[in-house]
């Protein structure tokens, strides 16, 4: 089964969110997403707020000279669909370049696309 790389800088690193979204705890490694910086967004989806315990979540916005620290997780294609369902409309999934030289899917601001 092919593994897919998913970079998280926010709530997908939370083990409670992982268990609810994927049914398991993810393992990953530290890396940095190049060309983005973090801002905060108010989450309107009450289910996501209840699960994460936070009303404001970090969101990646394009910024050529910046980078974001986080974790890369290896997940299945089915789990990628599950993570798409967890993320609210403020986020869109794109393929990002990592400092390690690899690429990974990452959720960034939908307004930036």
Full pLDDT tens readout for the chain, 113 residues = 689 999 999 989 999 999 999 999 999 999 999 999 999 988 888 888 888 888 888 999 999 999 999 999 999 999 999 999 988 888 999 999 999 999 999 999 998 65
Cα separation, 12 vs 5, in Å, equals: 13
Q: Count of domains in the chain?
A: 1
Cα separation, 44 vs 66, in Å, equals: 27
Domain ranges, residue 38: 4-112
| Angle between helical axes of 77-86 and 15-22 (0-180°, round to 10) | 110
Contacts of 92 (CB under 8 A, 6+ apart): 107, 108, 109, 110, 113
For the entire predicted model, the pTM comes to 0.88
Of 70, 45, 69, 66, the closest CA to residue 55 belongs to 45
Do 44 and 57 touch, CB atoms closer than 8 A?
A: no
Q: What is the pLDDT of residue 57?
A: 87
Q: What is the pLDDT of residue 1?
A: 65
Which domain CATH number covers 88?
3.10.490.10
């Amino acid at each position: 089964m092919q593994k897919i790389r998913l970079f998280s800088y926010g709530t997908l690193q939370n083990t409670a969110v992982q268990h609810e979204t994927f049914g398991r705890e993810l393992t990953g490694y530290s890396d940095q997403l190049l060309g983005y910086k973090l801002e905060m967004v108010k989450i309107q989806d009450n289910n996501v707020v209840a699960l994460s315990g936070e009303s404001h979540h970090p969101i990646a916005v394009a910024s050529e000279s910046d980078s974001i620290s986080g974790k890369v997780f290896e997940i299945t294609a089915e789990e990628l669909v599950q993570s798409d369902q967890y993320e609210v409309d403020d986020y869109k999934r794109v393929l990002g370049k990592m400092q390690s030289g690899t690429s990974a899917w990452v959720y960034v601001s939908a307004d930036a696309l």
